[in-house]
Structure 1
Amino acid sequence: MEEPIIVLLPGEHLLWSGRSRRVVPTGGEWFRVVLGPLLVAGPVAAALSDSVGGLPVVVVLAAFGLAIAWGPVVWRLRTRRRAVYAVTDQRVVVADRVSGRTREEYLSDLEPPILDPGQDGTGTVTLKRLDASVNVFGVPVPSRNGAPAIELFTVPDAARLCRLIEEEQAWD
């Protein structure tokens, strides 16, 4: 797949662009990576001990089990690692180099950024839409129709990026 093109709108200025520095499995994903082979071992052992299916059944069971356990983890890591991020004076754009799709949100439609700092200066910046939650008795509750948050994973100098986004949002 060719490199996605992030096109600037007339009069728009690029403030920051980057990619994830590193993407690692989360706690639940590590569980899937480690437990996947163990879950596959049971049916494979049963198929080997029972001479009904033989080797083809064992291979199919093993491949299917590992695909279920590892597939979502591998897909998320691949798409996150290959995402390209851009922040302009008007928008936040995420381009997926795997599928070629882009997602964009105007800064004026977003809440202030939420920073999840990493230990090495990187961090994840989460940007939620203003209409992503509804206040019920003063408590924000996620809206069913709200778009998912934009997450800029493990970007370098994430604290500076948050300040940059907040400054641009203040200008609007």
Structure 2
Amino acid sequence: MGEGFVLWLTGLPASGKTSLAKALEIELRKIGRRVEVLDGDEVRKWLSPEAGFTREDRERHLMRVAYVSKLLARNGIIVIASFVSPYREVRRKIRELIEEDSRFIEIYVRCPFEVAIKRDPKGLYRKAIVGEVRNFTGIDDPYEEPENPEITVDSSEMTVEEEARVVLNYLREEGLLDP
């Protein structure tokens, strides 16, 4: 079955996290690995429907996600967690929790702010700029870039296939894809 571990994708809204998560899921399944993708909006609906977007709400929600990720990974599943997760301190706590049982690999999906705004598939940046959405990461709430992620990809300069290849090469080099 192979070792479970957590790939934690972090980056600005509209940076390309979900696209990378989907590409990784396809490639990992092709080689026979069990994979679970946990992605922002869908998971929030089930784990934290009461949560808003204050710092406290985000931390509580992300720690719930981290706990679920930990449970899945220690049972041999590769977890791809795709969340803005804007605060370094919260990501540090997530790492500590998951590393009690499994590997945690932080992947920074770098994307210039201007590019993320242009992509904006849900129109949330526009709404945040005019004040219709509060506590929006990158507008009136900070995004703290990772200081030492295991992997950094730049979605403004790479295709999603190139990004996935970088991640898969790292996993092979670390011996995490051996049967």
Structure with the higher strand share, 1 or 2: 1
TM-score by length of 2: 0.21
- Determine which structure has more spread, i.e. the larger CA radius of gyration: 1
Comparing both chains, which one has the higher relative contact order based on Cα–Cα distances under 8 Å and sequence gaps of 6 or more? 2
TM-score by length of 1: 0.21
